[in-house]
Chains A and B, each alone.
Chain A
């Protein structure tokens, strides 16, 4: 299992389009990816749940990656966060 934390810098937070892009990124891997804000954690394949977290600029999320390709997935997804969020 791999985890990393990331603080959102995008002024609008994880809104629909980046959430959609994130789901597409996560789909590239077989690992299970969850995104947590505080106590609430959701499967990163679930677009609407992800949007439902209402993650805003300045908030920190904890991303957990677990599965066969977790190393590659964690690296890829972390890079995605840095580039897009």
Chain B
């Protein structure tokens, strides 16, 4: 039995085989082949496998969302077996003795170029389809694994750390838990694990060895413990804990349908943070009142090129209609810093966390912003939409963004396209500047939502991606909590609501504080909704308020 200690960032216990994440090789090696016939056969076999994979995806899509959804994959199938495409590849292999990977890559570029040069923006976007199909064939040729996991059974996934674009492509049904070598509690792997409600342990360094692959591991996300080849006794203890975990879940189930009301009658809204339209099921499953943060980045991370208005519209529409009349706060594009996307072609920065990111990119490149806002407003006709801008520091930024919204609404009106007139506009409070200026900012918007991860990082000048800074990165720091109170007071003075959509919202040791300062909404991962509801129902705000406020503002403040 081998025991490894890491840092638990998502609670729970999981048992399963260990599997190391397989990263796709991005570089294509060019080579001359001797036996062109054999190379051609290699291509044909990969092409066949790609068509088969696409067929399965089409079946799955048809089952889940109907014929229309399946058609995309069927179109990709037809592209993969397209005669011109195939002939061009055959030509390169048989006449120039080029290896199959390079031949597919060259022909892909050629066809993508054909589409890209057409005068119709819709057709130009089809270049992405050709690239998608080709990269599928190339992945099969090079033996890379799509989605990083090639296993028939669910696994405990180990990786050095996962990039946001990698986490969105993971086959979630195959993951029981995460182990990463590096990372931090607010890294994307941690956030994903909490959304999925599965355990995650980070920062294990080189203790997790490649040779353990395939062996049974037990992970305890609460303690940060990993056990490889457990002995019978330990296994029995862990299985009992797993059983207990199930029982707690069952107990929480009973809270469904109840109000988030304290003993003395104060209510708070509990919403969820999600990263893709697929996450709506756990939101409703955990009886959340709405969505307090829908990170729209996944749309951009999932594409090889700027996602079109229609593509975005469909995704927003799905979430809004699935949520019915419940509020859905969609955050506009928040990339830059730790979330980089190739096709945005952003110059490398010395200090990306303070660089060209989020709303700054949107205001500097209005054409990208306009596409997203058009898609959002068109989708607003299908549900209860709130739009939220990230990374605000000044009033003028908000005014400029709102002006864009007005322009988009005027365009849609002129085109006769439907949209809702009740879309709320809000901002993230995640910079100290926004918190300090919240009295002015409150006059511009309908709501605030505090992003505590970034607010902590900027307030404490502490990089949240840096695992070594662990004890300095303290979201309970009075500086952060005082800012939250200030934001809350300024919001209420101006009659707008204020929420928290950072990880801190689910921190049960702060629920008293949030209720005492009067936060109106907490947006947390789906799994955290019911425990939070329990905590709220157990609290008597009148009894704790004085204590909380004096420790926050008075002499009792522990300057940690």
Contact = CB atoms under 8 A, between A and B. Distances in A.
B130 A15 contact: no
- Interface residues on chain B, size class: 20 to 34
B75 A45 contact: no
A56 B119 CA distance: 11
Nearest to A27: B78
Given A16-B129, A20-B71, A21-B71, A46 B84 contact: yes
B555 interface: no
Given A20-B74, A21-B71, A52-B115, A13 B120 contact: yes
Contacts of A41: none
Contacts of B83: 43, 45-46
Given A20-B75, A46-B83, A48-B85, A54 B111 contact: no
A33 B76 CA distance: 21
Contacts of B130: 48
Contact of B122 (A12, A21, A52): A12
Contacts of B82: 46-49
Interface string B33-75: 0000000000000000000000000000000000000011011
Contact of A56 (B72, B120, B126): B120
B75 A16 contact: yes
A50 B82 CA distance: 11
B79 A47 contact: yes
Contacts of A56: 120
Contacts of A21: 71
Contacts of B4: none
Interface in A1-52: 12-13, 15-17, 19-21, 23-24, 43, 45-49, 51-52
A47 B75 contact: yes
B251 interface: no
A21 B130 CA distance: 17
B240 interface: no
A44 B431 CA distance: 57
Nearest to A47: B78
B71 A17 contact: yes
B118 interface: yes
B442 to A, nearest CB: 43
A46 B114 CA distance: 14
A36 to B, nearest CB: 16
Contacts of B354: none
Contacts of B111: 48
Nearest to A15: B122
Contacts of B120: 13, 54, 56
Contacts of B118: 52, 54
Nearest to A19: B75
B84 A49 contact: yes
Contacts of B544: none
Contacts of B129: 16
A17 B78 CA distance: 10
Nearest to A45: B83
Contacts of B75: 16-17, 19-20, 47
Interface in B73-95: 74-75, 78-79, 82-85
B126 A51 contact: yes
Contacts of A15: 122-123, 126
Query: Looking at B72, B85, B122, B123, which has the most chain A CB atoms within 10 Å of its CB?
Result: B123
B35 to A, nearest CB: 28
A49 B126 CA distance: 13
Nearest to B126: A16
Contacts of A20: 71, 74-75, 78
Given A20-B78, A45-B83, A51 B71 contact: no
B115 A51 contact: yes
Contacts of A52: 114-115, 118
Contacts of B85: 48
Nearest to B88: A48
A16 B129 CA distance: 9
A21 B78 CA distance: 10
Interface string A42-85: 01011111011010100000000000000000000000000000
Contacts of B122: 12, 15
A82 B74 CA distance: 22
A20 B76 CA distance: 9
A54 B115 CA distance: 9
B426 to A, nearest CB: 34
Contacts of A47: 75, 78-79, 82
5 contacts: A12-B122, A13-B120, A48-B79, A48-B84, A52-B115
Interface of B: 71-72, 74-75, 78-79, 82-85, 111, 114-115, 118-120, 122-123, 126, 129-130
Interface of A: 12-13, 15-17, 19-21, 23-24, 43, 45-49, 51-52, 54, 56
Given A47-B82, A48-B114, 11 more contacts: A12-B122, A20-B74, A24-B74, A24-B78, A43-B83, A47-B78, A48-B85, A52-B118, A54-B118, A54-B123, A56-B120
